[in-house]
Amino acid sequence: MIVSIPQAQLFFLALTRVLALLIQVPVLAGRATPDPIKIGLGLLVTMVIVPWQPLPADAPTLDVINFTAAIFRELLIGTLAGFAANLVFGALQIAGSMIGLGSGFAAGQILNPTLGDTGSAMDQVFVILATLLFLVMDGHHVFLLGVQRTFIAIPLNKPLPSLDMARLIVMFSELVAAGVQMSLSVVGTLLLTDIAMGLLARVAPQIQIFFLGIPVKVGIGLLALGLSLTALFPFLSDLFRSLLPRMLNLLGA
């Protein structure tokens, strides 16, 4: 099979968009994933989405300037769609950070290999649970379907649609609010615990509330998180299912 130059250029443009999308999602190709695996996964996904079909003999070949501009265009499209998917995991990190800050886990910061950032142990527990739910409910399939839909909404080597920054601001605010909502049950419980210990300190000043409060808040925080998981899992499922429309919405599709 003879591969023409225009066909190779289209495949490279598709690979550029797919890689720009994949590196934004921590579960599939985050910072902890080796580069050869990212490239291999990108090649595999690209070959499935954009199969090698012969182009007409008179298919035009892009010159260096137009081909470079097309590469930057595909990078922008992939980065925007991937950023919309990454914001979902950002909401999980916000929820874990708020829970860790209130329960006292934020005093010890460790590396979170999933997100490639530092955080508390509570962050890691929350993100790992959400990642397992993401894989169980086939969230990676939803993301790959979103990758394929971007090629339908914006074909290769076509002009960019009008990008509305208001959509990005609205989406960012919605996911920040989602992260706060996921942590409200645990944060509210810890707030009541602080109030109770404050009252105890006024009633019995001889009790060392500072040393007593640290283990109490850790235990209550873990207990509240465990009890709230039954309400959090449906919320997380809806959040992951909205990943595909968020990717397309940010692109104006």
- One-letter amino acid of 114: T
Residue 200: band (very low, low, confident or very high) from pLDDT cuts 50, 70, 90: confident
Give 74 or 124, the one with higher predicted confidence.
Answer: 74
Q: What are the boundaries of each domain within the chain?
A: 5-250
The closest of 99, 79, 81 to 91, measured between CA atoms, is: 99
Which tens digit of pLDDT belongs to each residue from 141-157? 888 888 888 888 888 87
Position 55 pLDDT exceeds 70? no
pLDDT score, position 181: 84
- List b or e across 91-103, with b for residues whose CB sees 16 or more CB atoms inside 10 angstroms: bbbbbbbbbbbbb
- Predicted TM-score (pTM) of the model is 0.77
**Which residue did the predictor score with more confidence, 115 or 194?**
194
Mean of the pLDDT values across residues 168-193?
83
Of 115, 83, 46, 44, nearest to 247 by C-alpha is: 83
pLDDT of residue 82: 82
pLDDT given at position 54 = 62
pLDDT > 60? residue 114 = no
In this predicted structure, what is the pLDDT of residue 179?
82
pLDDT value for 31? 67
pLDDT for res 2: 61
Q: Write down the pLDDT at residue 105.
A: 67
- Mean pLDDT lowest among 98-102, 118-122, 230-234: 118-122
CA–CA separation, 247 vs 243, rounded Å? 6
118 phi, psi to nearest 5 deg: -85, 150
Give residue 137's pLDDT band: very low, low, confident or very high (50, 70, 90). Answer: confident
